Amino acid sequence: MKRILSYLMPFRFRMVVGFLIKVTGTVAELLLPFILTYILENVIAALDVRRVVLYGILMVICSIIACVGNIAANRMASKVTADFSLAVRRDLFRKTMYFSARDTDAFTIPSLESRITTDTYHVQNFVGMMQRMGVRAPFLLAGGIIITLIMDKALALVMIATLPLIGVTVFGISHKGVPLYTEVQKSVDAMVRVVREDAQGIRVIKALSKNDYENRRYDRVNAELSRKECRVGVIMGIVNPVMTLLMNLGIAGVVAVAAVRVARNASSPATVIAFMQYFTLISMAMMSLSRMFAMYTKFAASARRIAEVLDTPDSFFVEEDQGDDTDKACISFKNVSFSYFGKKKNMENITFSLPEGGTLGIIGATGSGKSTLVKLLLRFYDTDSGEIRIRGRKITSYTREELTSLFGVALQNDFIYADTILENIRFGRDIPMDEVVRAAKVAQAHDFISAIPDGYEHMLSSKGTNLSGGQRQRVLIARALAGRPGILILDDSSSALDYKTDANLRRALAEDVSDSTVITVAQRVSSVKNCGQILVLDEGRIIGQGTHEELLETCKEYREISESQMGGAFVE
């Protein structure tokens, strides 16, 4: 809560100004019944029509001030709201962009997404509401109470007596409401997940004619969400009627006490009438408060979910390391072990070293840990034991920027977004056009891009669905090459290329990036056989290490793979 409200701090000056304008407007509005009473009590008694009209005009002037003040204040409030949620959403998104892989896994992407969208939206609504009504309502309430106290203490106290009861009700219900709203948001997450999966798997769903199944699956989460919303609504719905009832009982009490006081000449009937006016005003203020309060519970639940993200500590630490002068290798792994969940080891005692400008091939069965190794090298995860050094320095001594500037990566789970081909290769980097073209040529992408009428300016759809698998991979390789990285990592990124294109790619790579250190993760022996060193992985362990020729001699698994593929695999 505090975390979220701290985002309002920069706007405090504007909020104060808005507040003052609002207060002026509210005071003007509050004066209306006051003048009204005055007219009824004093002016009318004097039987002076001119003064009645005069005071009437005064009321009109107050009304105008109230109107102008409210418009100005509400506009300022909207601006603050817009700026506030701009900042919250900006930081929230940025934070998720910097999340470690473990954090993203823990929150899950759909949940992060709904935090950025619906939760922020709730918070924004509340902040807007708070400014529009949050000043007015308490002020009307306080002002009303003070004026009634001045007018007639005894009557005012009767009315005030209901306030603690209202407070207790509101507090009690809010106590119950917040956790229930948290539950609701959880169900929203689940619902969003199903829609997301459905949108992504539509081809499979249609192929298997699974509409009914999907509809049922969705219906479960949909019904669950409705049920939870009802549960929280039934409880939150109590607030309003109870509040109104208490206020109205106050009115009845005031009338009863007034009767006694008027009989004793301690009060006048005109005072009672004015009192009723203020009472209506106060009860209207209470209404707004109760509405705000209903929103508050929703806000609190969402604010907490946002704060959870914002408060997640950055697990990326940087430590001092002077470097090991004896380690001349570009990349070295020493006894590296790692586990995703702390149960089964996904990487065990990995040791290898790769010289500057060397080439490394990694091959192995599904789940053998090839991608895990790459993820460790990119520091998506930290090792559990052992150490990774890059150019003699521990990987943990590199800052984020240093680390990413070392690599050019084409990952297995390719990411193409809705923008031009050019932008997808540039990927937000400041890379001149001729570099982009050079990279695309090496990646064997230039030809097919040039064949498109608008070439590099061609718009790709989200996830690159308007490209074939092989074209996507080549765009990704071009992206990796465009930054002229010192270390190039190709994680299973040419699997959809036909052999001829793949062979051309290897040849071009050998010429173009001869200075770079290249790591190739692949399923085809032909993609790695020219590497200076090949690792054969199995269940997180190295079971073979050496050149293609050596491995054919020493590693049975490698030989098996190799034999099955020579003359086995063909064009796509």
Partner 1 sequence: MNKKTEEFSLNKKTDSGRGRGRRGIVLRLGGYVLAEWQLFIPAVAFTLLSNQLSLLGPRYSGAAIDAIEHVGGVDFPVVWENVFRMILCYGGSAVLAYILAVIMLYLSQRIIYRMRRQIFEKLNTLPVGYFDTHATGDIISHISYDIDTINSSLTNDLVQVMTSVYTVVGSLLFMWRISRPMILIFVFTVPVSIVFTRYRSQKVRPLFRARSRKYGELNGYAEEMLSGVRSIQAYGRQDVISERFNVHNKDAMDAFYSSEYNAALLFPSINLINNVSISMVAILGGILYMYSQSGRIAAGSMFFITLGGVAQFVQYSRKFAGPINEFSNILHEFQSAFSAAERVFAVLDESPEPADAPDAGKLDRVEGKVELDTITFGYTPEKTILRDVTVKADPGQTIAIVGPTGAGKTTIINLLMRFYDPVSGEIRIDSVPSLKLHREDLRRAFTMVLQDTWLFHGTISENILYGRENATMEEVRAAARAARIDTYIESLPEGYDTILSDDGVNISKGQRQLITIARAFLADAPMLILDEATSNVDSRTEIKIQEAMWELMRGRTCFVIAHRLSTIQNADTILVVQKGTIIEQGNHEELIRLGGFYSTLYHSQFS
Q: Which of residues 281-300 bind partner 1 (CB under 8 A)?
A: 284, 291
74 sits near partner 1 (criterion: CB under 8 A): yes
Give the DSSP letter string of 4-17: HHGGGGGGHHHHHH
Spatial distance between the Cα atoms of 542 and 360, rounded to a whole number of angstroms: 13
The number of beta carbons lying within 10 Å of the beta carbon of residue 87 is 14
68 sits near partner 1 (criterion: CB under 8 A): yes
Among 467, 475, 542, 555, the residue binding partner 1 under the rule CB under 8 A is 467
Spatial distance between the Cα atoms of 269 and 276, rounded to a whole number of angstroms: 11
Would you say how long the chain is, in residues?
Answer: 572
Cα dihedral 6, 7, 10, 11 sign: negative
> Which of 97, 69, 79 has the alpha carbon at shortest distance from 8?
79
The interface mask with partner 1, positions 327-346, x = CB under 8 A, is: -------------xx-x---
The interface mask with partner 1, positions 425-444, x = CB under 8 A, is: --xxx---------------
Contacts to partner 1 from residues 207-246, by CB under 8 A: 207-211, 213-215, 217-219, 222-223, 225-226, 229-230, 233-234, 237-238, 240-242, 244-245
The number of beta carbons lying within 10 Å of the beta carbon of residue 60 is 11
Bridge partner list, 362: 521, 535
Q: Which stretch binds partner 1 (CB under 8 A): 163-171, 305-313, 433-441, 500-508?
A: 500-508
Contacts to partner 1 from residues 526-555, by CB under 8 A: none
315 sits near partner 1 (criterion: CB under 8 A): no
165 sits near partner 1 (criterion: CB under 8 A): no
Contacts to partner 1 from residues 346-405, by CB under 8 A: 363-368, 371, 378, 380, 400-401, 403-405
Spatial distance between the Cα atoms of 294 and 258, rounded to a whole number of angstroms: 34
266 sits near partner 1 (criterion: CB under 8 A): no
Min separation Cβ 357 and partner 1, Å: 21
Q: Which stretch binds partner 1 (CB under 8 A): 158-166, 319-327, 517-525, 546-554?
A: 517-525
Query: Where do runs of H (alpha helix) occur along 264-325?
Result: 269-310
Burial of 59 (0-12, 13-18, 19+ CB in 10 A): middle
Please identify, using beta-carbon distances, which residue of 121 and 352 lies nearer to partner 1: 121
Burial state string for 326-346 with b = 16 or more CB within 10 A and e = fewer than 16: eeebbbbbbebbbbeeeeebb
Q: Which stretch binds partner 1 (CB under 8 A): 171-179, 188-196, 318-326, 384-392?
A: 188-196
Q: What is the DSSP letter of 392?
A: T
Q: Which stretch binds partner 1 (CB under 8 A): 174-182, 307-315, 432-440, 465-473?
A: 465-473
358, amino acid identity: G
313 sits near partner 1 (criterion: CB under 8 A): no
26 sits near partner 1 (criterion: CB under 8 A): no
